[in-house]
Structure 1
């Protein structure tokens, strides 16, 4: 049986190992994809450090990687929509038994030379879009896109705030600019991240520890506050801070993941102002991926600057360490088999 290299996480010990494993064979309704690029996400870091734990994984070991692009290598029985050689982006998850399973978390992902996918969990990647950029769309771009257009339902000229200008937050700034949000306020303790936010299209970038933060937001919004606030940091203090600068009927969208409690300091004020807290996870892949790829191909969006480095698959652990330690302040690192 043919073998392949894969980066496998042993969940009980949180140990990431490079292993030679059997190359999977596509079953009925499946395709085998030769991986060309796979993104390294902060969620992968959190899976390794124990902050996140797979809920639906069968067994105790999983190949990481939920941001994946490549070419069709083989098709299983009954697959007629795909042929070998086609360029594709793999969806970050699949529905199984009515429940969404996340690739690289609940089942084997794309930190490998080959990856399996259900035939319906792929989107064609246009020739004009490089594999590196295509790989990051299923999470780093589509997650903020879904948060903005669906969960947060941002409308033109609405004032918005983005807390955490990392791999997802910087794309949120770009996407908010495109949908017409105004003003866009970015908040991050890192000076580099704030500069990145301004370059991406934010109107104002603030240190989240700035004692004059509330006054600055009031000034830029004409005293009304933010119609929508997006937490990409997954930090309880961020969420509590965002609630203090929301406008009446404003909504706080929780995108960053944390297992810590959420506190509403003044429940009466929150109810009186009819504010809302909305949870968000991922996006509707069959809808969002074609939309975003069309916008990129049409020149409306450009994520070439988001690729902060490309490493061989064998250096997966080094890529994780770079992201965890923020060496060079990467937006997205790419693994290439």
Structure 2
């Protein structure tokens, strides 16, 4: 949960709220596992991300899974006892973006833990039933919660056009960089090189399938690009930039093969200086992504068939009562994914 105005970054207060009553098309969930995202920490520390400003106390958490304990009168595909993964973005109206299948771009979308919408880091939570997806028996609650970051990788690699034989450069070895490695390899990438400042994060990247790693120290963007080319034996067709750091975006442009694609995933300053003419004259396509859409069924199928293994991403677990310790661990950049366990009777993965 998030502090109110004036308390930012000081604590993670716990608050007793009444158990919500699901509406006709909603389900009430007993929450189980909730992952902490960098955006949760940013709201806690700074009270805003871009134009999204925390004006009132807000419940954090949007990487989540739980068990259905009550269904609304109009819900037919779920029943009490079903284990589900929660897609946090729910369109509020059937606008042009929903009609074209890109509901993530709907300007009125509800999204967990984005002001003013509450998230699901709590014991009990109600959510639109159409955006709760039943988990197969062989997919754990934690895997269900990890579908949210995994979805960023799926959406990104689709937008990037990763295919059989692709050479891919991933910039940044945090959770989002790592899921992009996982998905790119699963989609047929022949070689993936990844960069980061942290040696331990690069070790994790190797563990999940990266072919080459580069620990960046004082290199210029052009030097990073040269190292990427040397390791791959060619310039990559696809670069996935997951840091939002200006120098990394510059390196991404320099590194990408002419006619290739750079996808900007990480969000940094609102204005950055980049070698735009270099990209333009070499026809490097620069694409953005905003969250994801239509990814939960794909992710569940991949996890159930064991095509993708996200379990190594979870490095820390805390009970809900130790939320502050969990958030501090994430803020310090320790481990990869910190998971909060919301059901006091079940702390299993």
Match of 1:102 in 2: 111
Distance 1:130 1:83, change over 3 A: same
**Helix, strand or coil for the counterpart of 1:300?**
coil
**Helix, strand or coil for the counterpart of 1:21?**
coil
Match of 1:135 in 2: 145
**1:216 and 2:223 aligned:** no
Match of 1:169 in 2: 177
Match of 2:23 in 1: 27
Measure how far apart 1:10 and its partner are.
2.2
**Structure 1: distance between partners of 2:204 and 2:18:** 42
Measure how far apart 1:301 and its partner are.
1.3
Distance 1:55 1:89, change over 3 A: farther
**Helix, strand or coil for the counterpart of 2:28?**
strand
**Helix, strand or coil for the counterpart of 1:308?**
strand
Match of 2:314 in 1: 307
**1:204 and 2:209 aligned:** no
Match of 1:250 in 2: 260
**Helix, strand or coil for the counterpart of 2:121?**
coil
Q: Note the 1:207-286 alignment, pairs <5 A.
A: 207-209=215-217, 211=219, 212-223=223-234, 225-265=235-275, 267-284=276-293
Distance 1:332 1:172, change over 3 A: farther
Match of 2:99 in 1: none
Instruction: Select between 66-75 and 92-101 the one with higher mean Cα deviation.
Output: 92-101
Match of 2:342 in 1: 336
Give the counterpart of 2:72 among 71, 76, 90.
Answer: 76
**1:292 and 2:288 aligned:** no
More strand by share: 1
Assess if the C-alpha contact under 8 Å between 1:30 and 1:79 holds in 2: yes
Assess if the C-alpha contact under 8 Å between 1:234 and 1:254 holds in 2: yes
**1:117 and 2:112 aligned:** no
Measure how far apart 1:55 and its partner are.
5.2
Measure how far apart 1:132 and its partner are.
1.5
Give the counterpart of 1:195 among 203, 212, 220.
Answer: 203
Match of 2:87 in 1: 91
Measure how far apart 1:254 and its partner are.
1.1
Once the two structures are superposed, residues 94-133 of structure 1 have per-residue CA deviations (whole angstroms, 9 ceiling, x without a partner) of: 1113432221224222110011101211111111111112
Distance 1:58 1:46, change over 3 A: closer
Normalization by structure 1: what TM-score?
Answer: 0.90
**Structure 2: distance between partners of 1:68 and 1:268:** 42
Match of 1:10 in 2: 4
Distance 1:116 1:54, change over 3 A: farther
**Helix, strand or coil for the counterpart of 1:145?**
helix
How many residues are aligned here?
324
Measure how far apart 1:19 and its partner are.
0.8
Q: CA RMSD in A?
A: 2.0
**Structure 2: distance between partners of 1:210 and 1:51:** 32
**1:48 and 2:58 aligned:** no
Once the two structures are superposed, residues 73-98 of structure 1 have per-residue CA deviations (whole angstroms, 9 ceiling, x without a partner) of: 11223222221111111102111134
Distance 1:11 1:309, change over 3 A: same
**Structure 1: distance between partners of 2:78 and 2:142:** 21
**Structure 2: distance between partners of 1:216 and 1:330:** 25
Distance 1:291 1:64, change over 3 A: same
